[in-house]
Amino acid sequence: MSTPVPISLVVNGEAHDLVVPPRKLLSDVLREDLNLTGTHVGCEHGVCGACTILIDGRPARACLTYAVQLEGHELTTIEAVAEGDTLSPLQQALHEEHGLQCGFCTAGIVMTFEAYLRENPAPSEAEVRDVLSGNLCRCTGYQNIVTAVLKAAEAMRGGRGA
Amino acid sequence: MKPAPFTYHRPASVREALELLARYGADAKPVSGGQSLGPMLNMRLARPAHLVDLNDLLELDYVRNTGGVIEIGGLTRHHRVASAPEIGRDLPLLAEAAATIGHYAIRQRGTLGGSLVHADPAAQLPLVAVTLGAEVVLRSAKGERSVPADEFVQSIMTVDLADDEIVTAVRFPQQLADEGSAFDLFSRRHGDFAIVSVALTLRLDPAGAICALRLGLGGVGPVPQRQTGVEQEAIGCLPDAETAARLARAAAAAITPEDHPQVPAAYRRELVETLTARAFLRAAKRAGVTA
Ligand SMILES: Cc1cc2nc3c(=O)[nH]c(=O)nc-3n(C[C@H](O)[C@H](O)[C@H](O)COP(=O)(O)OP(=O)(O)OC[C@H]3O[C@@H](n4cnc5c(N)ncnc54)[C@H](O)[C@@H]3O)c2cc1C
Ligand code: FES
Ligand code: FES
């Protein structure tokens, strides 16, 4: 039962052939098999949001999916958000507004809002706070994250912003 | 926090999925969004030998209006239920409730079928299904049957589902255009499971009095409860603040919540009263009351 199985995963546009036990969490496969340690792991039951990545462009908890489920899907992790040394507008805004301290929660927040701002480019502060409720941050108190997301949204709409 | 070993199956069709479930019976579990089963597997509260993944069954991800009945496929994600324009129009109560489930990322994965089968006593979708009188459509390799939502949900996390069956769809009666509805809940942290939730619909007669009201409460017992006594009491009343307060008190008196150290029964009653009044006034406004 549960012998390792061969799978092919497309992560950040690159295909990887792996052999993994079916019960291995996607978060663990990303970190251990693919060395993509930008995806953090906090609670492993969906609550903290640290492990949030994109599956076919939509945010999802990597700790609530098994890598074996994701053959044929496009995965995006924090490693693909910046282009070389150029931060995305969202990352830039988090940097400028001090939207992070220890950074443990940051990758999950970036992935969540990279997707959300594409769906809703002009969110209200209340909407940003609603979405941010899915990502726990033990350091910042959230205020600067909210400011940064709103600033990033403006920048991405082509306003002055970042 | 790692699941026990399992064998993974990825059926390409509903038929194939049903054959797998028939073959492995109680040793198998279907997985949809994994937003409830995932935590249970990771914490080893569930240890199925076989996991049957329903995520490729895209034919179960749909919204269809069949003459007054809105049928929604079992694999339809919460986010789609919350944001599809046709659901916002024809089932505003369902859309409003779905938008409050967990968090944005959770709603991208979690499904209607999974939520009904998981049957958390505080969950939004079973409450709305019971309040609106929806039917749950179940299929096995042997055939199809449908069960009224209030019979489907039997107790805490216990539903009328055989090991070889899946929920293929839920059929909701379309809400009427002149019907006002509202959903409200209270949780200690935004996005947590609600302590109490309220689903309410109402209609007014030409004279402006209430001619129909449905009130469902979540989190007050093992399963969502329709408050038929309160519903009848509302008939003929004006949809004003006084009626709101009276019905809310009646709803609070009608429940027999458990006394829990963190959530005393009296506290739950007060939540029911506050949320019922609030939902009532919001629904009344949507039914056309301007005052
Ligand atoms: C952080 C967090 C917060 C949450 N907050 C809320 C909340 O506030 N309110 C709320 O209602 N839910 C909440 N949830 C749970 C979420 O709504 C789940 O999506 C839902 O309960 C189950 O749907 P699923 O598709 O993820 O099912 P899964 O987790 O895949 O499965 C759940 C159960 O249903 C069975 N199953 C799944 N699909 C089918 C099917 N089609 N036919 C038969 N059996 C099936 C599985 O075998 C399993 O027993 C939360 C989850 C998390 C992680
Ligand atoms: S580690 Fe996945 S949500 Fe916390
Ligand atoms: S910056 Fe430390 S947890 Fe958010």
Residue A105 lies in a domain: yes
Give the CA-trace dihedral at A6, A10, A14, A15, to 10 degrees.
Answer: 30
pLDDT of residue B291: 46
Mean pLDDT of A4-28: 97
Rg (C-alpha) for chain B, rounded Å, is 19
- A54 and A94 share a domain? no
Section A3-29 average pLDDT: 97
Helices and strands, counts by H and E, chain B:
12, 14
3-state class of A18 per DSSP? strand
CATH number of the domain bearing residue A148: 1.10.150.120
Contact A144, A98 (CB under 8 A): yes
Both A25 and A65 in one domain: the answer is: yes
Query: Is residue A37 domain-shared with residue A66, that is, in the same domain?
Result: yes
Nearest to B42 among A2, A44, A60 (CB): A44
* Mean pLDDT of the region A145-155: 98
Looking at A80, A101, A127, which one is the last position of a domain?
A80
Number of domains in chain A: 2
The pLDDT value given to residue A92 = 98
Residue B253 has, within 13 A of its CA and on its CB side, a CA count of 8
- Give pLDDT, residue B288: 84
Closest CA of chain A from B264, distance in Å: 25
Please report the atom of ligand 3 found closest to the CA of residue A103. 1
Residues A76 and A100 in one domain: no
What residues of chain A lie within 8 A of the CB of B53, using their CB?
Answer: 69
CATH number of the domain to which A19 belongs: 3.10.20.30
> Same domain for A135 and A114?
yes
One domain for residues A29 and A76: yes
Mark whether A95 and A151 lie in a shared domain: yes
CA B47 to chain centroid, in Å, comes to 26
Which of B227, B246, B218, B16 has the alpha carbon at shortest distance from B127?
B218
Q: Is the CB of B104 less than 8 angstroms away from the CB of A21?
A: no
Q: Is residue A148 a part of any domain in this protein?
A: yes
Measured between beta carbons, the chain A residues lying within 8 angstroms of B43 are: 45
Judge whether B52 and B9 are in contact, CB under 8 Å. Answer: yes
Q: Is B1 near chain A, with CB under 8 Å?
A: yes
Q: Which domains does chain B have, with CATH numbers?
A: 7-52 (3.30.43.10), 62-172 (3.30.465.10), 181-286 (3.30.390.50)
Per-residue pLDDT for A162 more than 50? no
Evaluate whether residue A49 is within a structural domain.
yes
Interchain contact B266–A (C-beta under 8 A): no
Average pLDDT estimate for A135-154: 98
**Tokens 């926090």 sit at which residue?**
B1
Q: Which of A60, A80, A100 is the last residue of a domain?
A: A80
Q: Range of A96's domain?
A: 89-156
Residue A123 and residue A60 share a domain: no
Interface test with A, best of B2, B43, B108, B187 (most A CBs within 10 A): B108
A94 lies in a domain?
yes
**In Å, what is the CA distance from B126 to each residue of A22, B217, B223, B250?**
31, 10, 8, 23
Boundary (domain end) residue, out of A80, A103, A120: A80
For residues A74 and A12, membership in a common domain is answered with: yes
Span A85-126, pLDDT tens digits: 999 999 999 999 999 999 999 999 999 999 999 999 999 999
Domain contains A125:
yes
A35 domain residue, yes or no:
yes
Mean pLDDT, chain A, as a whole number?
A: 96
- Chain B positions touching A66 (Cβ under 8 A) are 3, 8, 51
Neighbours of A85 (CB within 10 A): 5
In a domain, A162, yes or no: no
Check whether residue A10 and residue A33 sit in a common domain.
Answer: yes
Across chain B, which has 291 residues, the per-10-residue mean pLDDT values are: 95 98 97 98 97 98 96 98 97 98 98 98 97 98 98 97 98 96 95 95 96 97 97 97 98 94 94 98 88 46
Query: Per-residue pLDDT for A73 more than 80?
Result: yes
Same domain, A104 and A72: no
The CA-CA-CA angle for residues A144, A149, A150, to 5°, reads 100
Query: Residue B1: what pLDDT?
Result: 81
Predicted confidence (pLDDT) at residue A160 exceeds the cutoff of 80: no
Distance (angstroms) between ligand 1 centre and the Cα of A113 equals 23
Considering only CA atoms, which of A57, A131, A41 is closest in space to residue B100?
A131
Beta bridge partners of B77: B111
Q: Looking at the CA of A101, name the nearest ligand.
A: 3
Minimum CA–CA partner of A117 in chain B: B104
* ipTM of the complex as predicted: 0.95
Q: Is A43 in the pocket of ligand 2 (CB under 6 A)?
A: yes
Residues A12 and A74 in one domain: yes
Residue A161 covered by a domain: no
